[in-house]
Structure 1
Amino acid sequence: MKNQAKLVLITGAASGIGKATAELLYSQGYRLWLIDINQEALQELQNTLPGSKITVCDLTNRDHLEDLSQQIERKPRLDIAFINAGTIVPGDFIDLTFDKCEFQVKLNLWSALYLNYVCGRKMKMQAQGHLISTVSMGGIIGLKGSATYSATKFGLRGFLMAFRNEMKPFGVAVSGLYLSAIDTPMLRYEATHEKGSPLNFLSQPVKVEKVAQMVLKIIKRKRLENYLPFGDSLSAKFFGAFPGFIPKVYPMLRRLGEKGRRKFIRKNGLKPIQHEQYHQTQIKEETI
């Protein structure tokens, strides 16, 4: 089947990783179904990618998800689903309002499970398809200031491991994309927020265009776990296997990370922003 006949659903499509992936796949001849909460940004993207379908959807809203589910069921065919939308609200668990913890669980885990369920049933009937979910290195190692986020990503990683084996007999591939620091609006928020983890800046953040190239590779290779940068996955797996080492090296890593954060802020001319302002306007459909 040629790329021109393949339909790709992308959540969190209006900015960051989702937007870069949409632009790359469009250039490769894929048909796109772009989903995001930001209607204005979606329409602007559609104008640059003529023929793409857009759907405005709050993935934390059950009614919105059920409406999207009905649209998916009515589609003659769905070849690839890139379940990408996610968020982080940095801060120690008990210092956050529980609403913000619940919000992360709904977007990062609940909506991802729901869409894997709906798209998976569709692809099982087709006996063909590929489900790709954006996870995180935070699904391998849990760090201070991201307890809820790590809970969602650890859960998603375990789900994908099991779900892949359930779907394999039906010709449906299941993959996860494990990312470290990516230069998105959400990372820039973390850079200027006192509770943002400095460990995101131990190495230079990866550009979203490179992530999009990785997604294209995943489509072709269909591996279960895919890491970017690969080197960060090695350290994450080590500390995930031996978590007792984390408190011993954390002070040193924090100092190095703070140095990298200051460099990132200077390089990009960033200024501090209000937490609530970002949470209400930007955070809903971004991915780290």
Structure 2
Amino acid sequence: MTDLTNQVAIVTGASRGIGRAITLLLAMQGVRVVALARGAEELDDVAQSGQILPLAATVTDEADAQQAVDIALQHFGRLDIVVCNAGVGSFNLLENIAATDWDQMFDVNVKGTFLLCKAAVPHFKAQKRGHIVGITSDVARRTFEHGTAYGASKYAQDALLGSLRKEVRPFGVKVSTIYPGLVDTYFNNSRPGSAEAEATHLRPADVAQAVRYVLEAPAHVVIDELMLHPLSQEW
């Protein structure tokens, strides 16, 4: 297995939910993490040690994405991992979806992934190694009522990551995509911890463990896609 100790990662959406769980688990494995999110106060709560460097920024801003990469290189001296986790969603009949909601989902879910990858890929190519992990959704592989906007954004994010995988593989760079089902988080204005969610949803820690799994795979092993089933909690 690949030893993650002293590797450096950027994790987006790191202040709560899945991103927080990924950040804390990676830090426990000895990874130094640039934890990126919009909420400075929540980020400070996540940054419990010198392993985690909080960065209040937005994934939809190209300068912020480049700054995250630059800070990782300047503060920690290297960059090995990028976890594109930040995501938003709202659900409605197509005719009731506000154009602003559509734009926000594509900005965060697709453009946010694009901008961070764009900033990190030249560095990964130059060093002939690196690992990009995208947290998409199982709805990137299926459709459902009220999911036109969110599903479209996740299909687009999945296509972006799949195409990028083919572009960077010749340079020794990995791209893995994780497709969680329902997760017990604050997503879509939910309140985590309900009895129903605990019985039927994945936990943020389950997704974090999946990220750890793909990152620790030996260098010659490429795990392109990993689907997480919300009911069995098996992956």
TM-score of the superposed pair, with normalisation by structure 2: 0.86
Distance of 2:163 and 2:109 partners within structure 1: 18
1:215 aligned partner: 211
Superposed CA offset, 1:252-271 (max 9, x none): xxxxxxxxxxxxxxxxxxxx
1:52 aligned partner: 52
Distance of 2:119 and 2:95 partners within structure 1: 34
For the residue of structure 2 that corresponds to 1:212, the secondary structure is helix
Superposed CA offset, 1:123-162 (max 9, x none): 1011110000111111111211121111111112122222
Distance of 1:131 and 1:178 partners within structure 2: 14
Contact kept, 8 Å, 2:23 with 2:33, in 1: the verdict is yes
Spell out the pairing of 1:8-87 with structure 2 (5 A cutoff): 8-46=9-47, 48-68=48-68, 70-71=70-71, 76-87=77-88
Deviation at 1:32, TM superposition (A): 1.0
Q: Which moved more, 1:35-44 or 1:87-96?
A: 87-96
Spell out the pairing of 1:106-117 with structure 2 (5 A cutoff): 106-117=107-118
Give the AA of the match of 1:32.
V
Residues 141/117 of structure 1: CA separation in 2 closer, same or farther (3 Å cut):
same
Distance of 1:219 and 1:71 partners within structure 2: 22
Distance of 2:141 and 2:39 partners within structure 1: 30
Distance of 2:49 and 2:208 partners within structure 1: 16
Residues 29/63 of structure 1: CA separation in 2 closer, same or farther (3 Å cut):
closer
Contiguous gaps of at least 5 residues in structure 2: none
* RMSD value, Cα: 2.4
Aligned length: 222
Distance of 1:20 and 1:154 partners within structure 2: 24
Give the AA of the match of 1:136.
S
Tell me, yes or no, if structure 1 residue 181 matches structure 2 residue 182.
Answer: yes
Residues 70/148 of structure 1: CA separation in 2 closer, same or farther (3 Å cut):
same
Give the AA of the match of 1:57.
A
Distance of 1:157 and 1:231 partners within structure 2: 23
Spell out the pairing of 1:139-218 with structure 2 (5 A cutoff): 139-186=140-187, 189=190, 204-218=200-214
1:272 aligned partner: none
Distance of 1:132 and 1:154 partners within structure 2: 16
TM-score of the superposed pair, with normalisation by structure 1: 0.71
Deviation at 1:97, TM superposition (A): 1.6
Contiguous gaps of at least 5 residues in structure 1: 192-199, 233-288
Deviation at 1:64, TM superposition (A): 3.2
Distance of 1:87 and 1:187 partners within structure 2: 7
Tell me, yes or no, if structure 1 residue 132 matches structure 2 residue 128.
Answer: no
Distance of 1:105 and 1:190 partners within structure 2: 24
Identity %: 23
Distance of 2:4 and 2:45 partners within structure 1: 24
